[in-house]
Structure 1
Amino acid sequence: MNEYLTSLDRPIEAVRYAGLTVKLLSTGDGTEVIHHTLQEGSRWSMQPQEGWTASESIFITSGSLKVTVDEETKVLSTGDVVSASPIKQGLVFLALEETEFIYISSQPVFQFFSEIVRKNQELAIEVALKDGYTAEHCKRIMQMSMLIGERMELSPGDMCTLNYASYLHDVGKIMIPKSILLKEGPLSEEEWEEMKRHCTYGKELLEATDSPYMRASGTIVEQHHERFDGKGYPNGLQRDEISPLAYIVSVVDAFDAMTTDRPYRKAMSVENAIEELNENAGTMFHPEVVKIFIDLIPEWSKMKQGV
């Protein structure tokens, strides 16, 4: 009994990421029991992976989650259970309020998840600091992109890819010299060509990781400065040649950048930024994404104010 009580007294390893707190409660023979706390409006997903054979279950201990299964939206509440062995379709859960649940997997996942989160956070913070932003910029881009994705009824797999791509959209900027990133005056032609390479650098960095989700997001990161009319970079893609996920990140990133103070200029007003989006819908931006985003501006304002 003393040995059992001692094991409960050990420090519980916790990981925090974008409204999610994860604690490893127990592990043995490959099985893990993990406690999750998901803040209101945050998301968590279960996705099929090649070679994955685990039995997985979640048991909701408090709060409520919304999930779409076979095109049917369901609300799960305290006491509900979701199980799969193995999971065959992607599921994305949205917390309708602060929600706690226990996740049980017959194969170890916690250390893999911890490593991915650590890499995500380190990369995002490094980019934000180097580019003159705060880390909240990356979080806002991710949260707003996911809201747009829901309005567009993207698949769970696309939502998972969008989550990573939106958070790490500018990861390639860690390869760009600060003298270019933070230059107060206009960039020279050579400096601008180097700046544009951050899209390709980002794809290369993500494709070199061990995470299938981060690798999949590389294409979105590479395309998020392409334009609807084909005048973007790095490859001059247009219309259907560009991923819908990249169109989403493009609009959210542009609006957040326009309305945020930068080292070389002051923030634009929300009204003027909306006008810019409308004027460039159908040329720079996908018109449908612009329309959806403008409808969601009140949600962006809450995030910007930290509400």
Structure 2
Amino acid sequence: MTITLLGSYNGVELIRHELKRFGLMGFNSSPTSAPFEGIVLVKGSLRVAYDSEVEIVGPGAVVTMHPVKGDVCIIAMQDAEFIYISSAPIFDSYRRGVERFHQMATEIAQKDGYTASHCERIRKYSVLIGCELGLSARELLSLSCGALFHDIGKTQIPDEILRKPGRLTPEEFDIMKMHTIYGRDMMSSPSNPFLHIGSTVAEQHHERYDGSGYPYGLKGEEIYLPAAIVAVVDSYDAMTSKRPYQRPKSKQEAIDEIRALRGKLYDPRVVDAFLKVVSTLDDL
């Protein structure tokens, strides 16, 4: 994502955005104000969710939102360029958030190169499924943020365990499982306010529908739906990626396995949505 401040006056800002396909931008509404927000789409296609409204718009479209009392989530369904208009000054804080996102993504890449590309794929896949399931703006923001940084807790795992070429011992696996707790704590830290919305996804993305997951053994719809989405796409990507200790499965083998585990390890709602859109994943 690229953002540029085109101009500002008396608190009103014009911000140019470029988003790649299934890129996402959004913000949480302020409890103390209800600003006017607007979008002028120059090219591409956007899915705009705010309050209880969802619009799919094309080039030349103008979307206005006033007063904004809920969360706003904008997803590029195709590569998009648009002008965002806000009656409240948001650019500086938004830019700092984007820079921090990039910094943390770099930190993950330095710790584990596999995780860096893996996390961006998980974010795109998850957003696609979230749209199919009709998630709210807030749930989509939580999903996108949590999916991108679902493995950030691995930065706290010792290298000798994280990069071990073979299977982990039970004791090592107990340490590895702590990355979900570490991730939750890192994302909910006061030093990372823009990540708070995704902390539950980081915490629960290894929970399983039948209660066999970790860290809490949650079952069924006890599991936060965005985390249940990440659980499916995380498994799919892991199955189809080369690992030091196993050959990758073919895409069809991975799809068949996820289908077979519907209602066992994976939420049936998520599996059904995944099966509807899985052919699109090859293009991302």
TM-score w.r.t. structure 1 length? 0.83
2:8 to 15, 24, 27: 27
CA distance in 2 between counterparts of 1:96 and 1:152 reads 15
Is 1:63–1:97's contact at 8 Å kept on the other side of the alignment?
A: yes
Give 1:287's match in structure 2, choosing from 268, 273, 278: 268
CA distance 1:46–1:173, shift in 2 (3 Å): closer
Deviates more, 1:252-261 or 1:210-219: 210-219
What's the secondary structure of 2:127's corresponding residue?
A: helix
Q: Confirm whether residue 161 of structure 1 aligns to residue 119 of structure 2.
A: no
What are the Cα deviations for residues 65-108 of structure 1, in whole angstroms up to 9, with x where unaligned?
34356766544344443333441233433434433222222332
Match of 2:172 in 1: 191
Retained in 2: the 8 A contact 1:67–1:73?
A: yes
Is residue 248 of structure 2 the alignment partner of residue 267 of structure 1?
A: yes
Residue 234 (structure 2) pairs with residue 253 (structure 1):
yes
Partner of 2:201: 220
Letter in 1 for 2:256: E
Contact 2:4 / 2:15 at 8 angstroms: preserved in 1? yes
Q: Find out whether 1:176 has 2:157 as its counterpart.
A: yes
Q: Residue in 2 aligned with 1:144?
A: 125
Cα gap change, 1:136 to 1:200, in 2 (>3 Å): same
Matching residue of 2:90 = 109
**Residue 60 (structure 1) shift:** 2.6
Letter in 2 for 1:222: E
Indicate the structure (1 or 2) with the bigger Cα radius of gyration.
1
- How many Å separate the matches in 2 of 1:81 and 1:99? 14
- Unpaired stretches in structure 1, ≥5 consecutive residues: 1-19
1:301 CA displacement: 1.5
Residue matched to 1:16: none
Q: Is the 8 A contact 2:47 2:54 kept in 1?
A: yes
How far apart are 1:59 and its partner, in Å? Answer: 2.4
Say if 1:157 and 1:254 are closer, same or farther in 2 by CA, change over 3 A: same
Contact residue 40 and residue 98 of structure 1 kept, 8 A: yes
> Does the Cα contact within 8 Å between 1:47 and 1:87 map onto a contact in 2?
no
C-alpha change, 1:130 and 1:65, in structure 2 (3 Å) is same
Helix, strand or coil for the counterpart of 2:202?
Answer: helix
Q: Pick the aligned partner of 1:120 from 63, 82, 101.
A: 101
Is the partner of 2:247 in helix, strand or coil? coil
- After TM superposition, give the deviation of residue 196 of structure 1 in Å: 0.3
SS for the counterpart of 1:133 is helix
| Separation of aligned partners in 1, 2:231 and 2:105 | 17
CA separation of 1:197 and 1:40: change in aligned 2, threshold 3 A: closer
Task: Count matched residues.
Answer: 284
Q: Distance in 1 between matches of 2:25 and 2:74?
A: 5
RMSD of aligned Cα (Å): 2.4
CA distance in 2 between counterparts of 1:181 and 1:110 reads 37
TM-score by length of 2: 0.89
Unaligned runs of 5+ in 2: none
Q: Which amino acid aligns with 1:115?
A: R
Change (3 A) 1:284 1:77: closer
8 Å contact from structure 1 (residues 128, 138) kept in 2 = no
